Amino acid sequence: MADTEISAAENDEHSQKDVTCIDQAEDIHAERKTMLAVLQECNCCPRCQLRFQNMRWPPMYSDPKPEVLDSSHSSVTLKGDAEQIDNETSDKSTPVCPLCLGILQDLCKKSFIHELGNQLKSEDFEFKNYALTLSLPLELYIRQHLFLIYIKTKKVTINRSDVVDIKDVYKWVCGPLMASELKVPFKLYSPFEVQMTFQNAETEAEVEELLAGPPPKKKKRRFYKPKPLKKEPATKQQVINKLKEKSNEELKEMFSIPPTSPTLCSVCKVEGIHQSIFVAGRYNKYSRSLSQTPWILDGTRMTPSSVQELVCDSMKEMFRASAYNFVASGREDVDVKTLGRGRPFAVELNSPRRTVFTDEDMKSLQEKINSMTTSIAVRDLQIVTREDTSKLKEGEQEKTKDYSALIRLADEVTQEMLDSFSKIEKLTVQQKTPIRVLHRRPLATREKIIHSMSASPVDSHHFKLHLCTQAGTYIKEFVHGDFGRTQPNVSSLLKTEADILTLDVEAVNLDWPKALDT
């Protein structure tokens, strides 16, 4: 008897749970039905109707035509095909969606993607796959917020996280369409990006209205009128933060709730951007009248060319890049030669249109650069990663460089003087910023180490000094002393006036990039 009573109680409990579940399902179904009705009343496009119902199955968005929910289900019935949707959204009587500003309507059509594909093909990029990068009008975040305020007045529970992002929907719909046009796979991440910037001139003032603060207080200025500050573009975070600050009542006074349809669809600017390609190598400089980078003073070129231009201009042409950045392991003065295996460098080629290169291509590029001038030569040209280029700056303080300098003494050179250099090891030098570079470097005293020195005679007043020093040591100042700003120096060590006539970099002791067979 007791078992029978327990069994009956359990059945009652399960029955109650079933009733509760049915009630909850009916409530959810009623909310969705209300949501769909409101979305349609507000002239929202089919894809936005799906977004605001938190539908996250990508195929649903390819050819959506949501109908009123079936009374026995809580899902949307999909009908129609892509061509039908194109015709519908291109119909002049179809209003522009107030929640996507037409981005998920006309700008998702096959005909529009076809135009974009032709534009990208005309730019002649090399790529094996592609990704989409979207920049949306900031007023979309305002309009979504206003709609969420409105829908809650209809007793529908919805949060911002329940709405599928426009960017996701656009990529689900247009990613495969553009892949078909470009005949390469669509990827979420790719070295080649199709950057799409959407704008709507009719609605962009909404952002300014939201962010506008109280007018600045006018100050009396007797002597001058200040220049107007350049206005920085608004950001998504600024818009979101401002929406959080404003009460619903304040927003109702500023904007229409629910948001209304604009008369014009958004427009889209498209640009293809390929990730930078990095080329590393070493260069020799044989000229004493060539700067490392373009040397321009007050609009006047001080040297006809530079190492950077001689190296990079041919690279830019071969890679069909939009621009380049040149970085080397230190720099030499205009009148200093770089000998030995040369100075390591790297070149960043921005948005290259040609991206596939063989070892033979790099050898051809190297030969082309070397055949165009006798002022420089390059070696070991190779493509590297962005991470590899960090090795140019790694160990900056530990790196050493070898130099040879031709020095003239006021007194006669003696063998005792020459021998004295080989007896010095790890000489610590205090260098105040040289006078000649004070215009571009802050005044400071820097401690540098001369690891080793040796000398060989040339004639009665000249000798060659060979040095291995810490990177960043100013060799010219170490010789003549720079009016006592570098201590000790060759003049103080030999107790006679010394001056430097020529200087050569013999080696930059950095094992990068790897040496290639020539």
Integer Cα distance of 9 and 21 in angstroms: 18
The answer to whether residue 482 is catalytic is: no
Q: Rounding to the nearest 10 degrees, give the CA dihedral for residues 148, 86, 96, 197.
A: 80
Integer Cα distance of 455 and 120 in angstroms: 62
Residues with Cβ within 8 Å of residue 398, at least 6 apart in sequence: none
Integer Cα distance of 211 and 396 in angstroms: 46
Integer Cα distance of 248 and 148 in angstroms: 11
Residues with Cβ within 8 Å of residue 49, at least 6 apart in sequence: 36, 39, 40, 64, 66, 76
Give the residue among 495, 281, 477 at the shortest CA–CA distance from 370: 281
Residues with Cβ within 8 Å of residue 141, at least 6 apart in sequence: 236, 239, 240, 243
H or E element, residue 254? helix 248-254
Question: Left, alpha or beta for 121 (phi > 0: left; psi -120 to 50: alpha)?
Answer: alpha
Give Cα separations from 513 to 20, 268, 506 (angstroms).
Answer: 70, 43, 17
H or E element, residue 271? strand 267-274
The residue from 63, 313, 333, 361 that is catalytic is: 333
Integer Cα distance of 187 and 179 in angstroms: 9
- Residue 425: helix, strand or coil by DSSP? strand
H or E element, residue 11? helix 2-41
Beta bridge partners of 135: 197
Integer Cα distance of 346 and 512 in angstroms: 10
Give the residue among 438, 416, 382 at the shortest CA–CA distance from 494: 416
Q: Furthest-apart CA pair in the chain: how many Å?
A: 127
SS (H, E, C) 327-392: EECCCCCCCCEEEEEEEEEEEEEECCCCCCCCHHHHHHHHHHHHHCCCCEEEEEEEEECCHHHHHH
- Residue 316: helix, strand or coil by DSSP? helix
Active site residues: 333
